[in-house]
Amino acid sequence: MTTSTQEQAPVAVVTGGSAGLGLALVRELADSGWRVVTDGRTQARFKEAALPQEVSVLVGDLTDPEHRDALVDRVREHGRLDLLVHNASTLGPLPMRSLAEVTGDDLQQVWRTNVGGPLVLTGRLLDLLQAVDGVLVGISSDAAVAHYPTWGLYGASKAALDHVVLTCAAEAGITAYAVDPGDMRTAMHQDAFPGEDISDRPLPEAVVPHLLALLGRRPASGRYRAQDFS
């Protein structure tokens, strides 16, 4: 049974919550009393993650309209939305390629996952964010503003996500942040550097306190580095 205290608890959506930074953020928010809705593409990863049963987990792909419908329906069952974090993303084809080698299919895959899905989902949930003065977050990358060989497709998609998130803030009067979390010791980062020792990168759990500090301080909408908040 849902108690009145639970009904008053803030609600967050964190996409891509089965691994890496998304999983670390979901765990911290749930431990702090938030009601969390998250998604991921495989049940196996969620089984391994063993999230608290209070977390609403939906398995699916953010590029699938039916999956987005399910996410929206689950959030509306909670009746409010205080935080929407676009964390799910893809590097695209591996090993990563130069822009000259990118195909139309590569472009469509990355754009639909990193930009299209978040854009449409934001539009579907914008009224709930506005109703409670909620916050929209797009997890970005330094590749959105720097120019590393073979990172062009991913970096361009993150630059576009930054633009989408911050334009939503300007259009809808909400607070929004494009956040560069910095390098992390994740499976995605290892995919970008196959065979390289990335043990010197911080675990995603180390980035979460910086994200929460940003949300707690709530500066003006804009692009920020997570490590600048503590």
148 given a catalytic annotation: no
Q: Measuring CA to CA, how many Å separate 148 from each of 77, 103, 115?
A: 43, 19, 20
Contact between residue 181 and residue 207 where contact means Cβ atoms under 8 Å apart:
yes
- Say which residues have a Cβ less than 8 Å from residue 4's Cβ, sequence separation at least 6: none
Q: How many other CB atoms are there within 10 angstroms of residue 106's CB atom?
A: 14
Q: Which of 148, 154, 177, 224 is catalytic?
A: 154
SS (H, E, C) 94-109: CCCCCHHHCCHHHHHH
Residues noted as catalytic: 154
